[in-house]
Structure 1
Amino acid sequence: MINKITRLIIVSILSLVALSVIQSTLIKNTYNLKKENFINKAKEAISKIDEYTIGIDSLNIKWKTFLINKLDEYSLNNLTKKGVINELRRITDSINPPYIKAYNEELRKKKLGYNLKFHKVLKNITLVSRGKKDTIFKGKSNPDFKLLGSDFENVKELQVSNSYWHTERSFSREINKKELTVSYELHFESTNYINIDNWELIVFGKMKLILILSLLIFLVVIGVLYHSIKALITQKKNTDIKTDFINNITHELKTPLATLSLATKMLKKEEVKTKPVIIDSVINTIERQNTRLQKLIDQVLNNSLGYHEIKLNKQMMVIDQYINTVLDDFLLSVENNNVRLERCCRINNTIALDKFFVTTALFNILENAVKYGGTKIEVNCSIKNSKSLYISIADNGIGISKKNQELLFDKFYRVATNEIHDVKGLGLGLYYSNQIIKAHGGAIFIESEKGNGTTFIINIPI
């Protein structure tokens, strides 16, 4: 059974890991789809602003015209490549404030619901003249050159598009009284980027319902598995306890039944029938064993009662007299001569309790001290009272581990030594004692360490 439970736990853990992986993959795919959809909508919102907004379009024409003029100067060797780029930077810096203002105004009209920024980054400027390429600017070998737009760090996922501007240019200029015609092709490449504040959080916000449902499903699965495994382990423990109880009660019943069977056979013998003394002895044996059987049955029936089912017949008792009487009776019932009982019971207050039931509870605890004691048993009983009566019963026995203390008052539970129950009993005594004290509105506490004896403390309200 243990192996089955272990296998079940391993399979459950592996299943949870597999479920986690599958769920994580589904969430990741959903995130990617939501992100792509969100970014595409943002791209769509700004895709036509540059081309179809008069103010922005005029600013674009301004810097492009300016660049063509500077490239003309470069073609005539009147300006260096660096000079062209510096002049381009100067013109774009000058028109950038009105460009950003116009762009933001268009974005406000679209009512996107989030803060979006935009800029163009120069990637490449190449002139082709008479079949020869002349690279004015190459983005890979230079830091990003922002043409127009707001300042922010570029993110590949938020790249909107690549722009390509191609034009053929031809112009004439009089130089040294000679007409000079210059022709070239311009290849201009730029990349458009957007930036959205906390865009990852916005995407996750759109996935809020999916994330919550996924988490709830995962927690439900963990909860179901946990309670299933816990119920299985509890069932296993209960089965072991009941099996142990059946074995114990069977063992307890065998002895009187065997004795009764033997006594019956003796009464059938002819030589016994003529001897009244033997007949009387056998009858007495039958009566004793019958009484023993009846006590065993009564113990099982009575000890199965819960504290709310116990009907108390309370009477006022002088505390010290009552406790000392119980201890005296206990000493008379003990067959072991190696029992030493110390007592400190000098409180003459009175308390209302059911004498029969409380005596049964005390006897059960005292008998346990003898059962689980060593060769020389020492039991110490003391009492004190304030608002409650406290009865302390301490022994020098084998002690009880913390693990077993939690189960000590469970029905049918018995503490085993090295996994073997080497002390006779049904596992009902302490359970019944606890129910009796509960019926009086009190409680039983235990203080113990393995190998260092045990102390039971009974608390009954006065």
Structure 2
Amino acid sequence: MKKNIKKSVELIKKREEDLKELKETRKALMNMLEDVDESLSRAEEEKNKTLAIITNLTDGLLFFDKKNNLSLINPQAENYFRIKDKNLINKSFTDLFKIPNLKSLTRLLKEFSYNTNKQMKEIFRKELIIRKDLVLEVSVIPLVGKEKKIGSLIILHDITRKKIIERMKTEFISVAAHQLRTPLSEIKWTLKMFLDKDLGELTKEQQDFIKNIYLSNEKMVVLVNNLLNVSKIEDEKYLYKFELINIEKIIKEVIRDFQGVIKKKKIKLEFKKPKNKLPKLKLDKEKITLAIQNLLGNAIRYTLPNGKVTVLLKNVKKEIEFSIKDTGIGIPITEQKKIFIKFFRAANAIIKETEGSGLGLFIVKNIIEAHNGKIWFESEEKKGTTFFFTLPIPNNSLK
């Protein structure tokens, strides 16, 4: 009987321990559930915050998943295109192209190869005119996680006011430049008459003074012409007259025009060209001459005395490649992205050469691109810069 009592006691103790362990397990599970509930609550709160930010953002947002289906569009984007998201969510890029209000956007994205066959790898930005009263800057950002594309984010930023201000500035510059052109021309020809002694003999001192004034006036004429060219480019009124031309002859003419300053600075200039005759290109002679003048002028201007400038012309597949390499001051790496921006001049260029408008390379880029060409550069500060551009060879080019 004692044995039975002992077994009963042990059984009761075991049950008590099991019950205690069960209570502890229950308590742990309840704590875990509370933690899960808290995490879910926090996640929901963060989700609501994110949605609130997206909903109230002043920029338009669209998100495409990895299959190029639209999975999110915020109210501002809906307002820009005058559409509702219920008609768009989960639609493919191809389907969106069929929606009239989205044609301008989808056409732009198609231009940059945003489709199922060729995915974007880099961020790009471009301006898009939606209506007369709405201009957007479209930025497309590929989203990548663990080296795999998870989708693309499109940001639409309203730059209408900025474009209006730019337009007003351009119109002011155009009017001012036109108004300056006539008096500067009169000053030029009057000074020329003095220098040519049409108005009588001058002393050497008088000649030196008038020559300096004449050269300063010429710089003003160049600046005014550049301002007018920029105004025409921005108004899309920079007209081109294309004809089949030998670019080698144009380069030789430009080099000849710079011989005076080349000799003065004791710069060694080398022109390398292929042995075989190059095909003629479809060019606007006046505009392409201006582009080469700007590039060669910069190379000479920013190369120290006794430096070297190399002009290279070569046939690359279906293109002619032009390059001009100097041993000048180079472009700081932090400023290289801005080099083709209107009115921009690198800090070291301003120190080296205080005079300059920052318009030359802006004009050059527009001229080359109008010829369906490409322009780029390589540069290292204090070592020099090489500018390149390519121009397509037309199929019917004459040898």
Smaller-chain TM-score bracket: 0.5 to 0.7
SS at match of 2:389: strand
Letter in 2 for 1:277: G
Relative to structure 1, is the Cα distance of residues 309 and 335 closer, same or farther in structure 2, using a 3 angstrom cutoff? farther
Relative to structure 1, is the Cα distance of residues 418 and 220 closer, same or farther in structure 2, using a 3 angstrom cutoff? farther
SS at match of 2:291: helix
Relative to structure 1, is the Cα distance of residues 460 and 420 closer, same or farther in structure 2, using a 3 angstrom cutoff? same
In our comparison, the structure showing a higher alpha carbon Rg is 1
Matched, 1:299 2:226: yes
Relative to structure 1, is the Cα distance of residues 375 and 442 closer, same or farther in structure 2, using a 3 angstrom cutoff? same
The alpha-carbon deviation at position 459 of structure 1 amounts to 1.1
The alpha-carbon deviation at position 311 of structure 1 amounts to 1.3
Aligned residue-pair number: 262
CA RMSD of aligned residues (A): 4.8
Match of 1:430 in 2: 361
CA–CA separation in structure 2 for the residues paired with 1:375 and 1:330: 15
Gaps of 5+ in 2: 60-138, 140-157, 163-168, 394-399
Match of 2:76 in 1: none
CA–CA separation in structure 2 for the residues paired with 1:201 and 1:429: 63
CA–CA separation in structure 1 for the residues paired with 2:242 and 2:306: 36
Match of 2:47 in 1: 212
Match of 2:12 in 1: 88
CA deviations on 1:108-131 (whole Å, 9 max, x unpaired) are: xxxxxxxxxxxxxx5xxxxxxxxx
Match of 1:407 in 2: 338
Match of 1:392 in 2: 323
Aligned with 2:306 (options 376, 380, 386)? 376
SS at match of 1:313: coil
CA–CA separation in structure 2 for the residues paired with 1:318 and 1:335: 27
The alpha-carbon deviation at position 216 of structure 1 amounts to 4.0
Letter in 1 for 2:258: F
Matched, 1:340 2:305: no
The alpha-carbon deviation at position 309 of structure 1 amounts to 3.8
The alpha-carbon deviation at position 378 of structure 1 amounts to 1.1
**1:358–1:437 CA contact under 8 A, matched in 2:** yes
**2:302–2:349 CA contact under 8 A, matched in 1:** no
CA–CA separation in structure 2 for the residues paired with 1:377 and 1:421: 15
Relative to structure 1, is the Cα distance of residues 444 and 218 closer, same or farther in structure 2, using a 3 angstrom cutoff? same
**2:332–2:346 CA contact under 8 A, matched in 1:** no
The TM-score normalised by the length of structure 2 is 0.53
Relative to structure 1, is the Cα distance of residues 327 and 401 closer, same or farther in structure 2, using a 3 angstrom cutoff? same
**1:371–1:423 CA contact under 8 A, matched in 2:** no
**2:309–2:327 CA contact under 8 A, matched in 1:** yes
**1:321–1:348 CA contact under 8 A, matched in 2:** no
Q: List aligned pairs for 1:345-356, cutoff 5 A.
A: 345-346=273-274, 347-356=277-286
Matched, 1:155 2:27: yes
Letter in 1 for 2:30: L
SS at match of 1:277: coil
The alpha-carbon deviation at position 329 of structure 1 amounts to 2.7
**1:343–1:381 CA contact under 8 A, matched in 2:** yes
- Identity across matched positions, percent: 27
Aligned with 1:323 (options 241, 251, 258)? 251
**1:415–1:421 CA contact under 8 A, matched in 2:** no
Match of 1:457 in 2: 388
SS at match of 2:382: coil
Aligned with 1:445 (options 376, 379, 385)? 376
SS at match of 2:331: coil
Q: List aligned pairs for 1:52-63, cutoff 5 A.
A: none
Per residue, is there more helix in 1 or in 2?
Answer: 1
Which has the higher mean CA deviation after the structures are superposed, 355-364 or 199-208? 199-208
CA–CA separation in structure 1 for the residues paired with 2:57 and 2:302: 42
Match of 1:146 in 2: 18
Relative to structure 1, is the Cα distance of residues 304 and 417 closer, same or farther in structure 2, using a 3 angstrom cutoff? same
Relative to structure 1, is the Cα distance of residues 384 and 413 closer, same or farther in structure 2, using a 3 angstrom cutoff? same
